[in-house]
Each structure stands twice: as structure tokens, then as C-alpha cells.
Structure 1
């Protein structure tokens, strides 16, 4: 019992040591950046000019191995007991996937080989990966396949889009029978014959967008009785017998036929698809469409998109008479008349979203009093006459209104006076630089106001709102793209906006903001200043008035250096966006890196520093935008020698390094810079009980800044789980031992009596 307890206690302590903010450092190749993502060891060797995988330098316990954007042609066998779960080799020079390359990868779950030059895949390439779920091969020039493609019974997701496939034989999917999602988009297939999809009875999502399809055989989908989502956009399916093709898809809920060359829809096209909830027919030439006969029978239809369908028949009064459950209707891009809309839309009393963007409407239908539930209305990109804006007055339930790019030059002060439920208002793209007093006064529940590209030369002033009233719900203001002229002193915005949290001033041609810019708006948490002309941290003195700041976006300015000292009065910063500035490779980069990594305890604060969730997600092309700095040298190549080791940074196996380019990612520069860590930096370690230990560089440990349970990291939660499990095991063992001793005592007592 004591031995067992000791073993359990040792195991528990090792977990706590691993998870309590002090995860053990594992092997990492010289040309890679390694770190923990949640509790998994990530080795990021992307964009490192590698011609081969550095097998001998890899940790066998790597969870995510990112080798994207290199020059790797061959994948040699991995070391024994290599436990990688996600392997990313996108955008390399591979020409085939061979079985011996992936032998022994028993833990492999996700693979990404997209955008290589792969022409052939061994059918048994992943025989040793019994748990492989996701396989991404999009963007490879695959040769035609005779017989089965790959044999992976566990596979659920297969992406072979844009692979130059011209034909699918009847046995192609024979050994991937458990597929749930299949993407065949962007292959020149032209025709889908019968029997191709027969093995895929479990398929739920099928994507065949932009496949040059002209015909789908009548029984091509006969085995897909579990199919729920079907995407066929961007084809030319004029030879397809839709009534027969769709009749077996009785569970279909979503179908996308956008831009598929449809000119006529048969009356019974969707008769067997009564579960259909989303129907997208946009960008087809359906000039003679009779909506009532083809779509009106879908009594469960929730969303209908008829945008850009060249509708020429007037919308009849009974067009939607039998489809009254429609809540989201998109009619944008069709030439419509207010008089037709007045009658056709009247049965849709449950309408929540209505899009009439770019419909050539010079005035609005006087019918909005019937839409008692309408919450979102898009009438943008119409040549509206200013005088007809007042017809929107009955929409007292409206929460979202988009009037962007509608040729508006004047808005009367009472335009929105009755829309007291309005939460988001978009007026972008109108030349309304002279806003009248009181215009936004009654919008007391407004949360977001968008005035991008309105020609504004000065920010909003106090007269637009009620005097002495704080708009407590107005938390987002967008003023991007306005040629603002900012005074050298004084506040930027009025005190009515004191609860503002998000402010977008991107692309406003700003070179500075006065130190008092945010005197009235000190609750801002998200400040967007990207695309301006800030050149020096001295231009950012206004940050001192933003103690609540969490996100600072300074992308694509002209900054060459930035110091953690600029954020001394912004202790809550959790995201710093600095990509796209001409950073110098000097110790200021290392100081900022150490500040995020040690003092803040989260390197992810620096956007573009390491891998994030979006870079390891299935179904996307992984192209990271990283923080880049440049060495101040004009010679290439040049050599740097690592003659000292900085505490906390992994030493190089080869201390003399020849660089072929002056630009470096921040992660690589910090490691090779040799810059000393600032003595004022403290390392933050979170414990499972919600406390924080702050450890200075001299080893002094200061306890404890209390955090609530919602700030626990995944590591702390794992430690807590291990602790609870340990206590449970010890408790059960104690009870069993106690019960056993009681039984022994009973036997001894009985013996004595006898």
C-alpha cells in the first residue's frame, strides 16, 4: 500500500511539475521554434529553408510537427516510437507518399500534405496509423487512379480538392467507407457517374464546387441517404435531371447551387427534400423562375438566397404563400420594384433578415409596418433618395440596419428616432461628412456604429447625442478610412461615449494622436490603429490614458522599435498586433519577446509569434503571417557566432550559423541574438489553485496574485484533474484496506470464541 501510494504521489508530482507553468523543455532542432500549445509540445519548422526533416533533433513526444513552406522532397522513415499526432508538410516539393515514409506512426491523427507536387499515393501509405482521421491533399497534381485510392478505414475527413482529377472510378472510395466529409472541389470532373459514391453510406457533407460539372447521373447519389450538406456551386449543370438526382437525399438540410448554370428549375425539384432548411440559388440566370411552384412547397425552409438571379418576372402576391417559415431572405442584386415587394413579402410575417442590397431601388416600399419581427435589414448599395429614409420609421424592432453606399448625402435628425432597439447601424460609404445634431440621440441601445469611408474630417462631436447622457451600450465605433484631421491637444471623442470599448481608426492617415485623445473614453479595450503612419513609440503617449486596454493593433505602420515600457500603464494587454512594421533586429525585439513570455506568461500576446489554433485547423491552407525583423546589414550571406548562452533560451547544436537572408522571424532572432534578459522581468507561473507565483530572474519567488477560476489555463485544469484522480484512488485503496482489516478482525474474534 505504501509503495503504491508512493508511486501515485510521484506520478502526481511529475504531472504538477509538467503542467504547473514549468513544462519540461524537449528537444528542438536549430532551425525551428518549439513551444507548448496548451499542454502539447509543438515543433514549428515552417518557412525554414529545410531540404530534409531534422529527424535526429526532434523530440519523440512532439504533438504537432509543422514543416510547411520548405523545400522537402523526400520523407524518410521517422525514428521508432515517434508520437506525432499532427504532421504538417504543406507547400513543399514532395512528389509521392510512400508507405515506408510513415511506417510506425501509430499515433498519427491529422495530416496535411496540401500544395506539394504529389502525383501518387501508396494505397497502404498509412497502414500503421490506425487512428488517422483527417487527410488533406488539396492542391496536388494527382495522377488518375485506377482502383481504390487509399485504405484508411478510420478516415472521417478527406480533402482532395484542386488535384487535377478528371475521373473517379467506381472503386475509388472503396477503402474509406467511414468518411463523413469529402471535398472534391476544383477538379475538372465534368461528369459524375452512377456507383462512384456507393461505398460512402456514412457521408454527411459532400463538396463539389467548381468542378466543371455539366451532368450528374440520375443515381449518383442513391446511396447517400445520410447526406445533409451538398455543395455544387460554380458548375454548369444544365444536363442534370434534378428531380431524380435529389429524390434519395431525404435528410438533406443544406444545398448550395450558387452559380451552377441553372436556367430552369422543374416544379418537383425539391419534392423529396422536405427537411431542407437552407437553399442557395444565387448567381443563376433564373429569369423566368416561378417561386411559388418550385420553392413554395418547402414548408420547413428557413433560409432562401436568390441573390443575383436576374429575376425578371414580377414577384407575385403568392410567391411565398406556402413557405411562410422563411426567416432569412436574400434578394440582393435583382432589379426589383417597391410595388412588387409590397405584395410578395406580405405573407412572411416571421421574417428576421431581409437583404435588398443592390436592387436598383430609388425608394423603399411602404410595407415595413407588417414586419413585426424584422431584426436585420440590408438596403445598402441602392441609389436611395434621402427623402424615403423616413419609410423605415415603423421598424421599431429593428436591431441591424445597413444603409452603406446608398448615395446618401443628408440624414434628417429624426431618421432613427423610433428605432430604439437598434444595436448595429452601418452608414459607411456615404458622403455624410456633415452630420446633424441629435441624429443618434434616440439610439440609446446602440452597440455598434460604423461610419467607415464617409469623408469625415473630424471625429464625432457631442451634439450628435443627448447632452449629459451616457450611451452605456455603445461599445464599438468604426471610423476607418476617413481623412481625419486631429488637433494637437484635447479629447478625440465626447464624454457620451465613455463606455466605448472598441475603436477602429485604421487607415485614417494618422501620424499622431494627442496625449489627451482618450480623456473621455478610458474604458477602451480594443484600439485599432493599423494602416497609419506612426513611426516612433513617442507617438503613442495617448496609451497612458487607457488602463483597460486589452488589444492594441499597430499593424502596417512605420515602427522600427517598440518597448514594453510603452505599456507600463496598460497591465491588461493580452494581444499586441505588430505585423507589417519594418522592425529592426536588435535587443528591443528580444526585450518585447521576454516581456510577453516571462512577465506576462503568454507568448501568444504577440500575434504572429507562434502557432495558434487557426494554423493547425483542418480544411484550411496554413499560411502564417509572422513577426519579421531585419538585420542591419547589406551583405548576404553573413555569419553569426553564438558565443554565449542566455538563461531560458535553448543553446544551438551548431553555434556558428550562416544566414542567407537579412530578415528573420522574431522567434529565430531572439534565440540567436544573445541579448541578455532584462533583470526587471519576472516569470509568471500559474498554479492549479488559481494563484499566481511571480519568480524574478534571481530566483526570488513572490506569492500570490489571486485569479478567478475562469482564468485557469488548460495546464492548471489538468493538474487539478490529476490531483482529484489521485485522491480518489487513495480513498478507494484506503476503504478497501479498512474493509479487509475489519474482516480479519472478525475472523480472529470468531476463532477466539471457538
Structure 2
């Protein structure tokens, strides 16, 4: 039994001893990259690693996602044979051409991201071997004009060619990619589009042509796009377009965006055939004389969202303006000069309205018929010179759940302002110079979940007087007090007992230099705390306030003045699963390695440290190209001595295959942990590191870890089989003896 136990321990130790710096060794991982599993798929993250070429020889053939974003790669060579890569990301490099040979044999490729390079040529047959290709991203490349078919792919569904300096689309451009469902050609200086250019795309559902400098489009440009549901033409100059003809064939259109297209006039039959239109965006056009009632007509009876923001509508809104759009649920009128009396009449036919946005309309008063909006859930009256005149008019909105009165020149809010708004869930008062809050102001808001008081000039955090005495606000879970010059007391709690159920607290950019140990004594249920952009330092006990926050799950300490941090600080936060330390001036020392080991082994997931490795959002299709990483820096003395330690072999750390020299003082945490020479110091892991020393895989013959593990499993199974066989043999002998004894007795 002792032998079995020893072997099991060795098996576990061998599997774990190579994982202290966050890498798993079931599969190959290049020196300059960080590798990990995403769900069950092997991710090789080589992004922002100063690579000048792809590490072909070091790649695993089973790599699922290869991220090479943000390097200095200029050319591509063929990938290894039989590689099973599904997603390849090479955004923001220095590629100039996409050649056929570079992608030959990539049979399993589904997504390719080549955005943000200097590509001027794409071989039409570049992805001919990728028979399951679905998504291609080539945006932000100087591709220019293309002669003949662009690509050959019978399966392609998504193509992004936005901002590629394309001035014209030839008639054969889409001939070999007819299965496209989404095409984005935005930010190309097309100016004009030839008639019939999209005719072959009979399956297209989404077409984006925003900011293409289009001055004219053919009346039959979308004649064959019978399945088109989403059309975006924002940011062009289409003043003289006959929209009734252009949109006439789009009978299935559901979403239309004509924001900032130079439109000054719309005829009465513009949308007569768009009977299924649900969302219409006309914002940022000079529609001074728009007759809303005539333009909407009687055919848009499915319309649920209408955006007329910043259209500078001069004439008063008539009482019939929205009479034919009685299904409207969301209405955006922000940025138009409106008067309360006209607005009152125009909104009368919209009793089903759920969202009304009247921001920046120059309103000094509000309509007094809010009592008709029985279903109104959201109201935005921010950025209006209301000058404290609104209390009585808003009183009927008893079902209102979201109210934004931010930046409305409010210096005083009466204590009865929200007395009847008992359904309120989110209240925004940010950007008003309130200085202080009246007693009982939030007394009746017992269902409030979010309270935003950012940039209000508050020096004192919320006090008990603004709430009911001896009442815990059970639903109030989020408070935002960012960008207030708060004065934090040296002793005692910052917030009153009424806020004991708050779980999310934002104190970012509040000029906080320290927090006393009892600062959150009355808010011990916090699960998310944002302290970014303050001036917290790494002094002894400066983060001692964390000890009582036993439910804490997320804490943001980014962009403070932390130079070092000890994982022991988080001993009392067992539920912590997100720690943001980005943007702090950390010094490269072994505390960094301790934090890494704490996240990787104690917490069991490097994702706990924001910026330690690629997060899920960084590896999704059409995801964010720029990632933020944790950095530390060497001081001058360290920089001179570090080159001696770079290639030191340390049990529990992944060794570098090739000798390296240190050039840059700034290091990502991932690279520093490997090159630091710091021993794994997390106490429960020391025995594992010792086992690694005993086996000494690095100084002995190079045996793959996977082989060792399989061998150990085989030994254990063999011993188990042998033991079971012996036991069965003994049991059989015992049974035979018992049977003989019984026979003699009879």
C-alpha cells in the first residue's frame, strides 16, 4: 500500500511540478509564448512578444488557437504538415502579402484574422485548402483595388474589409464567395458602387457600408438582396438619393441605419415597402423641416425603435408626429431643440412607450403629462438646464426603473423629489454640483439597486441621513462614487449600516491615499470593489482593510502606486477570482513569482490575475486586438545582473530551450517568472518542487512529460492488477478449504 501511495504522489507531483508559471506541458509551447487550455482546446498565445517570425518548429500540431497579434512578423512560411489549427490570429504585424503557400495544408482552419497589417496583395486561392473556412478579417490593411475575384471559398460567411483603401468593387469581386451572409466594407473611399455588384450575394443578411464617402447609390443596388435584414449606410453623403426606390425591394429589412448621411428631406413613401422595419436610425441628419407623421406613414406599424437624435428639427413636433407608430417602445429625441408644450402633445399617442431619451434638448421645463406613460421604464433628461425645476412633474412616474438626471445644473434636490418613485432601480445624478445631499432624499427608494453619484464634488461619502433610519436597503447593491474628492476618515467605517447589502462599490479616481482597517466594516458583503486610479502604496498594512471582506470576488487596484504585493494579503478573501493590478509601477522581485504561484496553484486559475494571460474576450472571433498585460521593471542594478540568471534552471519553472539575453527593463509577469530564478515558495508546493529535483528531468535524458505520466499510470495499473489477482487467488483457496471442511463435517 505504501508503494502505491508513493507512486500516486510521484504521478501528481510530476504533472504539477512544471506548471508553476502557468504553462501546461501536455503539448509543445514556444519559448516566447504562453500556452494554456481554453475549455478543452490548446491555446498558444505569442501576442506582443517582439517576434519577427512564426516559431513553426516549436508549435504543437494540436494547437487550436494560435495568437500572434502585435508582433513584428513580415512574412509567412508554410505551417507544419498535419497541424490542426482552427483559429489563426496575426493582427497588428507587418505582413505585406497573403500568399497561397503560407496557408497550404490548413484544412481545419475556421477563422483567420489578418487585420492591422500592411497587406496590399491577397492571393485569391490563399485559403483554398481550408474547406471549412467561415470568417476572414482583413480590416485596416492597404489592400486597395482588386482585379477579378477576391477569394475562393465555397463556405465563407463573414468577410471584414473595412478600412482597406478600396476605391471600387469590380463586377467579379464576389464570384467565388457567394455564401457570404455578412460583409463589412465600411471606411473605404468607394464614392460610388456599380449597379449589380451585390447581385450574386443572394444569401446576404447584413451589409455594412458606413463611412464610404458614397455620394450616390443606384436605385437597384439592392434589387436582388431579398434576404437583407440589416443595412448600414451611416457616415456617407447621400443627400440626393431617392430612398423610396433604393429601399423598395427590401421587404424583409428589419434594421436600417442612415445616421449622418446628409439627408435633408424624406418623402412620404420612403419606407412604404419596409413593412417589417423594427429599428430606424436617422440620427445626426439636418432634418430641419422633417414632417415625422408623413415620413413614417402608415406602413411602419412594426416600428419599435426610432432614433431622431441630433436632427435639429426646427418646427414644433405636431400632435400627429407619432400617431402611426403607436408600437414604439424606444424613442430617441436627444439633441433637438424642444419645448415642453410641443413635446407634451406629440408624445400623447405613445402610451406603450418604455424608453424616452431627451438628453441635451435645451429643456428648462418638462412636459406635465408624464401620467399617461404607464409603461415608461427608462427616462433620460440629462444635460438639460433644468435648474432644479422638475420634482412635481416626475412624480407620476411610479413605474420608472431608470432615471438619468446627470449634468443638469442641479445644485439642490428636494427631499421629496423621489418620494413616489418606489419602483426605481437605477438613479443617475452624476455630474451635478451637489456638494451635499438632503436628509431623506433616498428614503422611499427601497427597490433601488444602483446609485450613481460620480463627479458631484462630494467630499463626504454617503451618510445615514439620506436614507431611512434603522432600515437596511436590501436591493441596493451598486454604488458609484468615482471622481469625487472624498475625504476618508482615519478611523471607523466609511459608509452607514443601511448599506450593509451593497455588493459593488466604485471608489475609482477619488484621490485616496489610504483606507483604515475598518473602512468597510458596515459593508462587509462587498463582492466587487473598484479602487483604480487612486494613490494607494505598498506600505505595511495599507491593504489591511481586505481582511474583513470575506465575500470579495473582484478587486480593481489598477493604476495606483503599488511597487510590490504579497499574496498573504488575500488570505482572508477565499472567494477572490479577479485581481486587477494593471498599470502599477511594480519592481521585478520574487514577490511577483509568489503572486503568480498563488494565482496558478492556490487559486487554481491564472485568469485570477487580470493581464497574466489571454482572457476569453481576447481569443473570440472579431475580438479585441490589443490586450493589456501585467508588467514589472528591473532597476539598473537588476538589469546588469539579470543576464546571469536568465537561463538558470529552477525546479517547477519551464526552462528556455535557447539561451537568451535581457535587453528590455520592462518585463511581462509571465516572462519574468520564467527568467527570474525565483524558487517556488508557496508552502504547500515545496514538496512538489523537491520531487522535480529528485527526478531532475532537465539535467538527465530528455523524456517527454507525457511519456513519464503514461509510464507511471501503466505501473500503477499493473501493480493494482497484480494485487487484485493475488487477493482473488487467496480468496479462492480459502473458499476451497472451507468447502472441504464442511464436507467432512457432514
TM-score, shorter chain, exceeding 0.5? yes
Matches within 5 A, 1:201-212: 201-212=202-213
Shift, 1:660, TM fit: 2.3
Residues 278-299 of structure 1: CA deviation (Å, up to 9, x unaligned): 0010000000100001114210
Answering whether residue 351 of structure 2 is matched by residue 349 of structure 1, we say yes
Residues 529-585 of structure 1: CA deviation (Å, up to 9, x unaligned): 000000115311111110000000001001011111010001000100111101111
Shift, 1:640, TM fit: 4.3
Contact 2:379 2:402 in 1 (8 A): yes
**Which residue matches 1:484?**
486
Matches within 5 A, 1:395-544: 395-536=397-538, 538-544=541-547
Residues 353-376 of structure 1: CA deviation (Å, up to 9, x unaligned): 000000000111101001000000
**Which residue matches 1:588?**
591
Q: Equivalents in 2 of 1:699, 1:516: separation in Å? A: 43
**Which residue matches 2:605?**
602
Q: Equivalents in 2 of 1:194, 1:393: separation in Å? A: 56
Q: What secondary structure sits across from 2:389 in the alignment?
A: helix
Shift, 1:107, TM fit: 0.8
Q: CA RMSD in A?
A: 2.0
Residues 493-535 of structure 1: CA deviation (Å, up to 9, x unaligned): 0000000000000000000111111111100000000000001
Q: Equivalents in 2 of 1:490, 1:227: separation in Å? A: 62
Contact 1:589 1:666 in 2 (8 A): yes
Q: What secondary structure sits across from 2:617 in the alignment?
A: helix
Q: Equivalents in 2 of 1:213, 1:623: separation in Å? A: 30
Q: Equivalents in 2 of 1:238, 1:304: separation in Å? A: 20
Q: What secondary structure sits across from 1:669 in the alignment?
A: helix
Using the TM superposition, name which of 477-486 and 534-543 deviates more.
Answer: 534-543
Answering whether residue 560 of structure 2 is matched by residue 557 of structure 1, we say yes
The counterpart of 2:614, out of the listed 604, 611, 615, is 611
**Which residue matches 1:87?**
88
Unaligned runs of 5+ in 1: 1-12, 684-694, 701-754
Shift, 1:47, TM fit: 1.2
Residues 70-104 of structure 1: CA deviation (Å, up to 9, x unaligned): 11111001111111111111111111101100001
Answering whether residue 680 of structure 2 is matched by residue 677 of structure 1, we say yes
**Which residue matches 2:167?**
166
Answering whether residue 582 of structure 2 is matched by residue 579 of structure 1, we say yes
**Which residue matches 2:653?**
649
**Which residue matches 2:374?**
372
Change (3 A) 1:36 1:319: same
**Which residue matches 1:274?**
275
Using the TM superposition, name which of 505-514 and 664-673 deviates more.
Answer: 664-673
Contact 1:637 1:658 in 2 (8 A): no
Shift, 1:319, TM fit: 0.6
Q: Equivalents in 1 of 2:647, 2:216: separation in Å? A: 67
Q: What secondary structure sits across from 2:445 in the alignment?
A: coil
Q: Equivalents in 1 of 2:640, 2:379: separation in Å? A: 57
Matches within 5 A, 1:52-67: 52-67=53-68
Q: Equivalents in 2 of 1:28, 1:525: separation in Å? A: 36
The counterpart of 2:643, out of the listed 620, 628, 639, is 639
Shift, 1:143, TM fit: 3.0
Q: Equivalents in 2 of 1:631, 1:268: separation in Å? A: 69
Contact 1:637 1:659 in 2 (8 A): no
**Which residue matches 1:308?**
310
Contact 1:93 1:117 in 2 (8 A): yes
Answering whether residue 632 of structure 2 is matched by residue 629 of structure 1, we say yes
Residues 283-337 of structure 1: CA deviation (Å, up to 9, x unaligned): 0000010000111421000000000000011100011111100000000000000
Q: Equivalents in 2 of 1:520, 1:366: separation in Å? A: 41
TM-score normalised to the size of structure 1?
Answer: 0.87
Contact 1:599 1:682 in 2 (8 A): no
Shift, 1:447, TM fit: 0.1
Q: Equivalents in 2 of 1:447, 1:568: separation in Å? A: 30
Shift, 1:643, TM fit: 4.8
Q: Equivalents in 2 of 1:583, 1:607: separation in Å? A: 15
Residues 41-96 of structure 1: CA deviation (Å, up to 9, x unaligned): 11111111111111111111111111111111110011111111111111111111
